[in-house]
Structure 1
């Protein structure tokens, strides 16, 4: 590995690294010479990814941590494990996240509590733990993956959208708190993307899942470039930028109606049309 690479001697921790955006982030950091700490629930996929990137880019070290970040104690365990082996985290990428499709009064409350732990609590705790160290040395970068729905209410994905609104607000507030330091916080807001998200959220039949989808490598590249420039927020994709701009002009009721249409299943529309056309 050439010593003039941007990440030489530095380490990036990426959560949700086994697929989707996380996998693409791992590739980008490895290409720039960063050592990696890869966190996810799938140990086999993490090892396959991490060691292949280590061989390809000549990385000094790759740490594999199998952890379920929906468990409240996981962030502290990750931090303590890295402290124990002397790994300093220079870049934190809070990428892991999940959603659940359906009407709130019908969805599973235990599952939604896990989503809140994953999307909010783990982001807060990991940021708190590693930011303290970054602040002590006045150096570091944090990338938090929010969503285009952080800018608007999203019926049928109410908990997910609310959790991502937290991530965006949290990131922008921290960016301001740290404006006089050498530490940056960036929020990435992707739209509907070609990942496993919709399937895992049981939303694979929604209009959003079956419309135009961003590719995870493009989203990750946008986030990575914004992080390196120290930008506060980046909306990935032209159409998502248009949607974000529109969200500042429309009332929340209109935004909610639009998002509900996107999150409804196509079969529901066909059924409504069939009922409408039936003779009285």
Structure 2
């Protein structure tokens, strides 16, 4: 350190011991030597004190530097851990958002599929309804042709018979036409009020089969209803109905989830219970 260099310089600047020839006596030389030794020890003590002071300051500064570095390290470590926690939470949130988006995308695909199925079902039912209307129109045309044939037959009857039968035939034709129109109006009104459309009626030896469509806000139900024919003398209320749903699981899944269980299977019931369904 600089203390050693300074002490060395001080030793070099000290006066050399006087020679005996310069002073002439031994007592004088001894006195001067003692005085120089005292000064030298005093100077050396001062240098040692300065050195110890500098060394103490160095140790204090070194300890301060170490403590400051440790504090800075702790702060940086805490900041780094906090950033790591924040990044981990952000990654977790992003993963959760991604999972939610995937779930929503999957639900969207399922909803789109159900929508396409519903649109296909609506198109099919629209076609069935158009066919039913066309069939009703065809029946009306056939009825009109029948009335025309009756008029033609009546026109060939001899004059004596025409006078009495023509008026009756016209009256019968008019009444029949009005009855058909009234029945059609009743059917249209019933369909508008209840949503029930009878597509087709088929008469079998043992029963009458009604092909029906029931529309509503929750969907459209296609079913067939068989009404057992009463034998002569049988009680009217003893006739049995058979309900046969025409459900397709791949097409009517949403409707099947909403329907009661007993309406998704074939059931048989007596006529008095029909009004309770």
TM-score with structure 2 setting the length: 0.20
Highest RCO, 1 vs 2 (Cα 8 Å, sep ≥ 6): 1
User: Which of the pair has more CA radius of gyration?
Assistant: 2
TM-score with structure 1 setting the length: 0.20
